[in-house]
């Protein structure tokens, strides 16, 4: 043998090497993740009114409203996300405080 693939280290590729239960679980997980992302997207669109930051939040791990509620140092988060405009920072910080109530 030239090489051997260990089942522990084998990535699961949807549809390949998965049984029906695995595929069902994968689909359920993807559905939950999409639902959580959609909640964050909706909050940024409808409450913050700043949809241009949706990808910055999702791509940096703010994939669920419960994570956004945990933000205590908004300035650090804004710096990490690259949000520069003071008015945008104020609006997002205000909406985070409302979430935390």
Q: What is the pLDDT of residues 47-93, one digit of tens each?
A: 999 999 999 999 999 999 999 999 999 999 999 999 999 999 999 99
Q: What is the pLDDT of residues 34-59, one digit of tens each?
A: 888 899 999 999 999 999 999 999 99
∠ Cα 87 88 91 (to 5°): 85
pTM of the model: 0.71
Q: At what angle do helices 86-100 and 74-81 cross, to 10 degrees?
A: 130
- Encode 73-83: b = buried (16+ Cβ within 10 Å), e = exposed: ebeebbeebeb
């Amino acid at each position: 043998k030239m090489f051997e693939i260990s089942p522990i280290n084998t990535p699961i590729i949807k549809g390949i090497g998965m049984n029906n239960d695995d595929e069902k679980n994968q689909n359920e997980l993807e559905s939950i993740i999409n639902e959580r992302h959609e909640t964050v997207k909706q909050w940024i669109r409808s409450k913050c009114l700043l949809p241009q930051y949706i990808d910055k939040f999702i791509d940096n791990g703010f994939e669920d409203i419960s994570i956004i509620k945990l933000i205590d140092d908004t300035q650090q988060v804004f710096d990490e996300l690259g949000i520069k405009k003071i008015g945008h920072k104020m609006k997002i910080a205000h909406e985070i405080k409302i979430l935390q109530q």
